[in-house]
Structure 1
Amino acid sequence: MELKNTTAIVPVVQNESIPVPAQVWDKLGDAYSTVEISEAAKGTAPGVALVDYRGMLYTTVAICHGGYSGSYTVECWQLVPRSCFVGECFYKDPSRNSYQNLIVQHKGKKFVMSKKVIFERELPTVNPIQLAEAQVYDSSNRGSGWRAMMFQGLEPIWKYCNGHPVAIYDASDNRSAVLFWKIGKQLHEYHLGKAVHDVYLADTNVQIAQKSTTRDSDWMFPAAAQVAQQGDLFAF
């Protein structure tokens, strides 16, 4: 156990859950560090990857892919610079069953895992892709995966959700609606959930009940305070 210096006070805040657009959710996953933490030697500060969200630093310890349910979450821990944290903190100790107050490091700079935050994936807020591009991608993937297993030989019905193309596969005992979005050159699938109804979809661009409440301005922040070097630090 190590006692901290008292140069700053960090208030204790309860765990929280934050909705974020899909493209932000994906970036949070890039900071996954559970393996590095678990394999670190006793008495050391595990090396972790960092991600910046709204001016705060986080490392990710769990990623939950909800499959066709559409429920996707990541468990992150907010990092406070070691020199700014007040209270007890600990180096790696296998006897402890919590990340709370664990000392970690990134490129030689030490941080404390101070608070757990769950980020929930919502609809992407990027510009929609063209329907034709989504149809080509969907068609090329019908021979394998969930399409071949549950909807073999079926043609989807196409709709829009916030301008994004949505393919609806409807069998007698199963139904799935998947939204297509793209960031950079990578096209992604976003399952809206088996229970989605046409009331949430339309043949033209509309605002729907599932639209993310997170505005672009809420996550377009510069990198966090200069406590970590650039490299595998993601800012968005």
Structure 2
Amino acid sequence: MISIHLPAELWQSVAAANSCHLAAEHKGSKPLPVRTAEYGGLLYTAFATMWGPYGEAIKPYIDAYRLIPTSVYAGETTLVYHDEEAIQAGIRERGDHTGLMVSVNGRSMVCAERVRFVLGLPGTRPLSLADAEDYDERRRRSGWRALWFNGKEPEWFSLRGHPVAVYRDHSTLHKDHAVLFWGAEGEIHELSIDDDVILSPPGELQTAPSVATPEGQLALF
């Protein structure tokens, strides 16, 4: 299986193409309608997404399939998303949907190649520290901040030029929580960062556009 590292903004768009909930209701009598995302001029759909912080030993990933028209697919095809009989007979591997016929806006296509998209850091222009602080402050009364870190303020760091807030002493687990802020299409997003990722002092925050580099520097303690 091919693995491709994607910056967070592209990874997020592919994650939105997860079609497993559609497959769960599919009866198998006609091609499964799926959501899709485009990457590198090719069309993909996804059936599994592993979420988690950036920098974990098991990196967050999406298991997707490259789609091609049914007319040019040379292998065997199936309309059944989960064929237990074929799995028990050793004809198909559990979780492998290669050859599955799907429908994209009414067009018949096939899951031709399995691809794993691995989460990387954002490749967008880094937010300023002031914008990140303002965003974080406006959200301290809700969500995980209010639930786990009520009344606390974070310490600020930098990762590849992106601002990172570190909240200390989780109310029940007594651990830290680091979150990187990044912007795309006028919205600010959050990306959890694993404890083993080395962060830089906030004075190193950048304002120039960054280059899409998916891998961060890790340190094992």
When normalised by structure 1's length, the TM-score is: 0.73
C-alpha RMSD of matched pairs (Å): 2.5
Query: Which ranges in structure 1 are unaligned for 5 or more consecutive residues?
Result: 1-14, 216-236
Choose from 3, 6, 9 the match for 1:23: 9
- Tell me the SS of whatever aligns to 2:11: helix
3-state DSSP of counterpart to 1:174:
coil
- CA distances 1:54-106 after superposition (whole Å, capped 9, x unpaired): 12211011222215876422121111211111121112365345412111111
Name the stretch that deviates more: 108-117 or 94-103: 94-103
Q: Give the secondary structure class of the aligned counterpart of 1:52.
A: strand
Structure number with the bigger relative contact order (C-alpha 8 A, sep ≥ 6) is 1
Matched, 1:82 2:79: no
Identity of aligned residues (%): 32
> Number of matched residues?
196
- Give the structure 2 partner of residue 183 of structure 1: 184
**2: distance between equivalents of 1:21 and 1:81?**
28
CA distance in 2, matches of 1:93, 1:29: 19
Partner in structure 1 of residue 79 of structure 2: 91
For the 8 Å contact 1:43–1:93, the answer to whether it is kept is: no
Q: For residue 72 of structure 2, what is the amino acid of its counterpart?
A: C
Following TM superposition, the consecutive aligned residue runs of length 4 or more in structure 1 with deviations greater than 6 angstroms are none
Alignment of 1:9-88 (within 5 A): 15-67=1-53, 71-88=59-76
Letter in 1 for 2:177: S
Structure 2 counterpart SS, 1:88: coil
Aligned to 2:122: 124
Taking the TM superposition and a 5 Å limit, the aligned residue runs for 1:155-234 are 155-171=153-169, 173-198=174-199, 200-205=200-205, 213=213
SS in 1 for 2:30: coil
Secondary structure in 2 matching 1:91: coil
Match of 1:12 in 2: none
Q: Give CA-to-partner distance per residue, 1:138-175, whole Å, 9 cap, x none.
A: 11222233223332222211222222111122238422
Structure 1 pair 102/32, CA: closer, same or farther in 2 (3 Å)? same
Counterparts of 1:214 and 1:193, CA distance in 2: 15
Unmatched runs of 5 consecutive residues or more in structure 2: 85-93, 216-221
Partners of 1:84 and 1:205 in 2: how far apart?
49
Letter in 2 for 1:185: G
- The 1-side partners of 2:129 and 2:204 are apart by 11
Against the structure 1 CA distance between its residues 78 and 214, is the aligned structure 2 distance closer, same or farther, given a 3 Å change threshold? same
Equivalent AA in structure 1 for residue 76 of structure 2: E
The one of 113, 131, 138 aligned to 1:133: 131
Q: Secondary structure, in 3 states, of the residue corresponding to 2:5? A: strand
For the Cα contact (< 8 Å) 2:98–2:112, is it kept in 1?
Answer: yes
Q: What TM-score do the two structures reach when normalised by structure 2?
A: 0.78
Contact 2:127–2:183 under 8 Å retained in 1: yes
Task: Please give the secondary structure, in 2, of the residue aligned with 1:18.
Answer: strand
Amino acid at match of 1:131: L
